Chain A
Amino acid sequence: MRNTHNDDADKPKAEKSPFGLARREFLKATGAVVVGLKAANLPAAQAQSVAAVWQRGVTSGPPDPAAIDSYLAVHPDNTATIFTGYVDLGQGAPTMLCQVAAEELDLEMRQVSIVRADTFVSTNGSTLASRSTGIGGTEMRVAAAEARRVLIGLASERLKVPVQDLTVAKGVVSVRRDPQRSVTYGELLGNKPFDRKFEPVAYSAGAELPRKGTDLASFKSRAEYTIVGTRVPRLDTPDKVSGKYEYMQHVRVPGMLHGRVVWPQGQMAGGVTRPKVVSVDEQSIKHIPGIRIVRRNNFIGVVAEREWDAVRASRQLKVTWEPFPAVFPGHDGIHDNFRAAQTNDLVIVNEGDALSILTQPSAGVRVASASYRGPYEGHGPMAPNCAVADVTSAGAVVMCSSQSVYQTRGSISRVTGLPVEKIRVQYFAGSNTYGSSCYTDAAEAAAILSQEAGKPVRLQLSRLDEHGWDNYGPAHLAEMRGAIDATGKIVAFEYQAWGHDGNGVGTASQLLAVDGPSVGGPGFGAPAAGDGQRGAAPAGGRGGGRGGGQPGIGGLYQVRISQNDMYDVPNRRMVEHRVPGRGYLKLGALRAPLDPPYFFAQEGMMDELAYLAKLDPWEFRKRNITNPRWLGVLKAAAEAAKWSPRVAASTVTDAKTAVGRGIALGTHHLIPNQGDRITFAAAVVEIEVDKETGVVVAKHVYGAMDCGLAVNPGIVESQIVGMSVHGTSLALKEEVLFNQTNVTSLDWNSYQTLRFGEHPAVTPIVVQQLNEKSSGAGEEVLPAVVGAIGNAFFDATGVRLRQFPLTPKRVLAALKSAPAKTNRSA
């Protein structure tokens, strides 16, 4: 087997082993990984300087958040490297973080590199909840401003000129009136530590707190920006198209075995019992040479020197499992089950007197009511998760695609029994993850296999493992009532939600019977992501987690924050009916958790009220929204789509192909106190419905987003394109299928996703706000697209379809049940 690491000349020399492990070759191989230089494309000289001088990689992190050295280093060749825990999940965050650092340090982009996240190297960041640029960028901006101040101070001493007489460009500090007198950052500091503390940005439950100190470095004014706010090309693109980019799935280390897990096909109901092995027939794979079966409690895996041997052994090994209890309602029964369940009810919002207006409307007030449904959705990464682990009694190195290396360190500690500081977790990008796909399961499984086999093990999950043991996006049931007056103003609105609590025990933990949440533990559909809560011992999780035990973090409570200024509704009521998680699927954060079904429902209901008022849907929204930023994105999307006012479904014909358009708002609901980081999004979607086949095709999506200061409008546009296609996929195709015992959608045929031939044209619109804080940009258009497609279906057919995905079967049933050529509901 060839080692893909060793023959790279541009790698730094091997670093010293962090634990004094015997396996020096392994660490030599991972030494390259320590500072992730290949990914960062550093020239050889620079790479060596980093490895030689910096002692990163020797002790366990996270480093001091109040030390400049934790965030960045300046090298003799006048370049800088940033060390951040925020990672590339495909969204381009590293490019934007480099932009922020370059801007504040007065460097050019080519002078700044970023390294892979690593618990022996990086700051403690979690790349989730659209926070890498908003929060990670702010942290980097503050550290870079402080670093610049130190460097200018050193230059002042060196050049014997007061600070105010100095100017910086490209990392060269020069005297304003005598530019010949200059010194570079590299000459001033060149690989030496800053050795300086500062007051970092602090957050409370995700909200930025004001810095108290008086001795703070000043920031560059936004009017002076030349890098932030511009379309810098992504740093990773060339390597990704040429095939040189090293994904997690490419990592190989010397002496490594290939591992596969042997899990039941498709997960069982959570919280009822664990998968239990009755027997393992070792003879069934006797014909495969050099195979080793690893078993710990109910965790079973195989390891082999050759990957194909591990693959076929995992497929052929006969394992008899105790039959799963038949407790699932099946994918078609989920919402009725929710409705019938004994729930824990929380009144989230009760403003004014919504109930009496809705039940006893006064003259001139009209009331509409409806119930909407959304399915479980899967993360479906293109690449099933993969991890490489080397576990010894002295310590462990685990390479994986975790969104939070420090959180995964805690998971590895639980399954290996090693203390966290002896565990080094290194990030390598896999494919898209969209949240908590099975990366923790892969990391844990690799660690268990390595610990048992006594060798480094590369564990690759199969497509069936990944689809079947995912932490799905939440199924959702909404019942709404709305009342409007004669002018089309909303006078009362009620939203009641049903969903189940999380039961986020990781798969490997479940099989090992090592309790503790491997997943972030989202309860009622959304993760809590406060800093410090994502450390070595993540809170939340098992048997309800955040949702069950901590009202106010999951579910509708988040919705309230963003809803306050979305529609102007004087009388409002929101009630959350929490269904106990026992007997349902595992949940996890999935791109804008809860928001696609929430906005499908809310924006559908708003359209129903517009229709009741005989108003154009955009006009109706104008009458009921005053916040200029919500109106701004609606206007941007509507203008791009050349929206002309008319009442929905006013052009329905008997033609075989029906054409319609829909408009909707969207956002990613944030945890409480993050109200200062709301992103405003809207979409207009044009669709065609084939009334004979029931096939819906989205022809064009116009997606508009105001995410405050867009650090890189080009990357934000790419996110809008991706969300428009993903949103179309959710609205039309994606749905986790399961019977009474287990999940059955285990591949790309049974779990449908939007195909190349089915994609809409996309017009992305970034509403740039140079003077606002950067907020998230990876989740917010997605739910707007789902809502707009639902509304477009009504416009095309005059039939309201209140359950997504809008599959041909559902479409045909809806059209059939509705009387012809009237405005009607299904």
Chain B
Amino acid sequence: MANELQLRVNDKMWTVTAPPETPLLYVLMNDLALQGPRFGCGLGQCGCCSVLVDGVELRSCITPTSRVVGKAVTTLEWLPAYYALKMKLAKPPELHPLQEALIAEQAVQCGYCYNGQIIKGAELLFKTPQPTEAQIRSAMNGHICRCGTYPRILSAIQHASKAMAATKLSAAANAMEEVARA
């Protein structure tokens, strides 16, 4: 039976009427009209549907919507804002540093898997800001790219890591300045 479910998605509250076992992906795509998470396999195998739930990457195609009630869901659309929040930036950048790096690398071909690649890469960079190549390969291993752009994604994660370290330094410097002024 359909229930009313209260969801927190991209820092907004939403009420949707759906059977509670409805996979979160269908609610995000159809009720919330989001384009980040997308259908790839419906089996949790490929990573096209990934979202962050309380900061942890999760496959929305096999997650019952009722399971994320009371949790904070972040999709690709809100990733830059989520990043700003985590990094304590004054305002959200237009894109997450990994998104910027993927453009700089001209990594994208069809781009369909990039929702998951970016969500997972961002999760990795939050948890492990300076990942080794082995850590990147291990963390990203559940995200398939049939265009074969893995080498460029790997490189983009490494570049984003450096960019984030620089941002953190300058944010810290600004904070110090403010403290000094006070």
Shortest distance in angstroms between A784's beta carbon and chain B's nearest beta carbon? 14
Instruction: Name the residue of chain B whose CB is nearest to the CB of A721.
Output: B151
Whether A507 sits at the interface, judged by CB under 8 Å, is no
B150-170, CB under 8 A of A: which get 1 and which 0?
Answer: 111110000000000000000
Cα distance A280–B114 in the bound complex, in angstroms: 39
Instruction: Name the residue of chain A whose CB is nearest to the CB of B48.
Output: A382
Shortest distance in angstroms between B100's beta carbon and chain A's nearest beta carbon? 8
Instruction: Name the residue of chain A whose CB is nearest to the CB of B120.
Output: A756
Cα distance A616–B144 in the bound complex, in angstroms: 37
Whether B126 sits at the interface, judged by CB under 8 Å, is no
Q: Are B145 and A382 in contact (CB under 8 A)?
A: yes
Whether A753 sits at the interface, judged by CB under 8 Å, is yes
Contacting residues, chain B, for A724 (C-beta < 8 A): 148
* Interface bin, chain B: 35 or more
Q: Are B108 and A241 in contact (CB under 8 A)?
A: yes
Cα distance A714–B110 in the bound complex, in angstroms: 15
Q: Are B114 and A748 in contact (CB under 8 A)?
A: no
Q: Are A241 and B112 in contact (CB under 8 A)?
A: no
Q: Are B19 and A308 in contact (CB under 8 A)?
A: yes
Contacting residues, chain A, for B48 (C-beta < 8 A): 382-383
A234-249, CB under 8 A of B: which get 1 and which 0?
Answer: 1011101111111101
Contacting residues, chain A, for B112 (C-beta < 8 A): 90, 247, 381-383, 430-432
Q: Are B146 and A381 in contact (CB under 8 A)?
A: yes
Instruction: Name the residue of chain A whose CB is nearest to the CB of B148.
Output: A725
Whether A726 sits at the interface, judged by CB under 8 Å, is yes
Cα distance A240–B30 in the bound complex, in angstroms: 20
Cα distance A334–B87 in the bound complex, in angstroms: 57
- A384 CB contact (under 8 Å) in B39, B77, B102, B152: B39
Interface pick from B52-60, B134-142, B172-180? B134-142
Q: Are A756 and B146 in contact (CB under 8 A)?
A: no
- A4 CB contact (under 8 Å) in B19, B33, B141, B151: B33
Shortest distance in angstroms between A781's beta carbon and chain B's nearest beta carbon? 11
Contacting residues, chain A, for B103 (C-beta < 8 A): 233, 237-238, 241
- A91 CB contact (under 8 Å) in B18, B109, B138, B141: B109
- A726 CB contact (under 8 Å) in B18, B137, B148, B154: B148
Contacting residues, chain A, for B19 (C-beta < 8 A): 308
**Chain B binding site: helix, strand, loop or mixed by DSSP?**
loop
Cα distance A357–B143 in the bound complex, in angstroms: 52
Whether B41 sits at the interface, judged by CB under 8 Å, is yes
Whether A688 sits at the interface, judged by CB under 8 Å, is no
Instruction: Name the residue of chain B whose CB is nearest to the CB of A434.
Output: B146
Instruction: Name the residue of chain A whose CB is nearest to the CB of B95.
Output: A242
Shortest distance in angstroms between A728's beta carbon and chain B's nearest beta carbon? 8
Instruction: Name the residue of chain A whose CB is nearest to the CB of B40.
Output: A382
Contacting residues, chain A, for B23 (C-beta < 8 A): 308
- A721 CB contact (under 8 Å) in B110, B142, B146, B148: B148
- B148 CB contact (under 8 Å) in A233, A463, A729: A729
Q: Are B113 and A431 in contact (CB under 8 A)?
A: yes
**Given A90-B147, A236-B111, A382-B113, does the pair A2, B33 have CB atoms closer than 8 Å?**
yes
Cα distance A90–B108 in the bound complex, in angstroms: 8
Q: Are A241 and B118 in contact (CB under 8 A)?
A: yes
B105-137, CB under 8 A of A: which get 1 and which 0?
Answer: 011111111110010000000000000000001
Contacting residues, chain A, for B41 (C-beta < 8 A): 384, 463, 747-748
* A 203-249 contacts with B by CB, 8 A: 231, 233-234, 236-238, 240-247, 249
Shortest distance in angstroms between B68's beta carbon and chain A's nearest beta carbon? 15
* A 389-434 contacts with B by CB, 8 A: 429-432, 434
Contacting residues, chain A, for B106 (C-beta < 8 A): 231, 233-234, 237, 714-715, 718
Q: Are A307 and B30 in contact (CB under 8 A)?
A: yes
Whether B83 sits at the interface, judged by CB under 8 Å, is no
Q: Are A718 and B109 in contact (CB under 8 A)?
A: yes
* Total contacts A-B at CB 8 Å: 184
Q: Are A243 and B115 in contact (CB under 8 A)?
A: yes
Interface pick from A358-366, A653-661, A757-765? A757-765
Contacting residues, chain A, for B33 (C-beta < 8 A): 2-4, 252
Cα distance A93–B113 in the bound complex, in angstroms: 19
Cα distance A247–B37 in the bound complex, in angstroms: 12
Contacting residues, chain B, for A231 (C-beta < 8 A): 106
Contacting residues, chain B, for A723 (C-beta < 8 A): 148
Whether A311 sits at the interface, judged by CB under 8 Å, is yes
Cα distance A762–B140 in the bound complex, in angstroms: 18
Contacting residues, chain B, for A90 (C-beta < 8 A): 109-112, 147
Q: Are A748 and B149 in contact (CB under 8 A)?
A: no
- A382 CB contact (under 8 Å) in B31, B42, B46: B46
Whether B99 sits at the interface, judged by CB under 8 Å, is yes
Contacting residues, chain A, for B75 (C-beta < 8 A): 243
Contacting residues, chain B, for A748 (C-beta < 8 A): 41, 43, 45-46, 144
Q: Are B140 and A431 in contact (CB under 8 A)?
A: no
Cα distance A460–B42 in the bound complex, in angstroms: 11
- B146 CB contact (under 8 Å) in A250, A429, A431, A762: A431
Q: Are A245 and B111 in contact (CB under 8 A)?
A: yes
B6-49, CB under 8 A of A: which get 1 and which 0?
Answer: 00000000000011001100100111111110111111011010
Cα distance A757–B144 in the bound complex, in angstroms: 10
Cα distance A760–B137 in the bound complex, in angstroms: 11
Task: Pick from B30, B31, B34, B152 the residue with the most CB of A within 10 Å.
Answer: B30
Whether B76 sits at the interface, judged by CB under 8 Å, is yes
A723-766, CB under 8 A of B: which get 1 and which 0?
Answer: 11110010000000000000000011100011111011110000
- B38 CB contact (under 8 Å) in A236, A247, A252, A755: A247
Shortest distance in angstroms between A722's beta carbon and chain B's nearest beta carbon? 4
Instruction: Name the residue of chain B whose CB is nearest to the CB of A467.
Output: B41
Cα distance A762–B155 in the bound complex, in angstroms: 11
Contacting residues, chain A, for B30 (C-beta < 8 A): 1-2, 252, 306-307
- B18 CB contact (under 8 Å) in A238, A308, A311: A308
A541-580, CB under 8 A of B: which get 1 and which 0?
Answer: 0000000000000000000000000000000000000000
Contacting residues, chain B, for A726 (C-beta < 8 A): 146-148
Q: Are B147 and A722 in contact (CB under 8 A)?
A: yes
Q: Are B146 and A463 in contact (CB under 8 A)?
A: no
A434-461, CB under 8 A of B: which get 1 and which 0?
Answer: 1000000000000000000000000010
Cα distance A297–B81 in the bound complex, in angstroms: 52
Contacting residues, chain B, for A761 (C-beta < 8 A): 151
Cα distance A757–B132 in the bound complex, in angstroms: 13
Q: Are B146 and A382 in contact (CB under 8 A)?
A: yes
Contacting residues, chain A, for B35 (C-beta < 8 A): 4, 243-247, 250
Contacting residues, chain A, for B153 (C-beta < 8 A): 756
Q: Are A755 and B141 in contact (CB under 8 A)?
A: yes
Instruction: Name the residue of chain B whose CB is nearest to the CB of A233.
Output: B106
Contacting residues, chain A, for B146 (C-beta < 8 A): 380-382, 431-432, 434, 726, 753
Contacting residues, chain B, for A755 (C-beta < 8 A): 141-142, 144
Q: Are A241 and B102 in contact (CB under 8 A)?
A: yes
Contacting residues, chain B, for A729 (C-beta < 8 A): 148
Contacting residues, chain A, for B113 (C-beta < 8 A): 382, 431
Cα distance A761–B41 in the bound complex, in angstroms: 27
Whether A462 sits at the interface, judged by CB under 8 Å, is yes
Whether A89 sits at the interface, judged by CB under 8 Å, is yes
Cα distance A307–B23 in the bound complex, in angstroms: 10
Whether A92 sits at the interface, judged by CB under 8 Å, is yes
Task: Pick from B38, B103, B110 the residue with the most CB of A within 10 Å.
Answer: B110
Q: Are A722 and B148 in contact (CB under 8 A)?
A: yes
Q: Are A307 and B150 in contact (CB under 8 A)?
A: no
Cα distance A2–B32 in the bound complex, in angstroms: 7
Cα distance A803–B108 in the bound complex, in angstroms: 32
Between-chain CB contacts (< 8 Å), 18 pairs: A1-B31, A4-B35, A89-B110, A240-B111, A242-B99, A243-B115, A252-B33, A308-B23, A382-B40, A382-B110, A382-B146, A383-B38, A432-B109, A463-B42, A718-B152, A725-B150, A757-B138, A761-B151
Shortest beta-carbon contacts, A-B, top 10: A725-B148, A90-B110, A240-B111, A431-B112, A759-B150, A757-B141, A722-B148, A757-B137, A756-B140, A243-B76
* Given A243-B75, A311-B26, A753-B146; 4 other pairs, CB 8 A cutoff: A725-B145, A725-B150, A729-B148, A754-B150
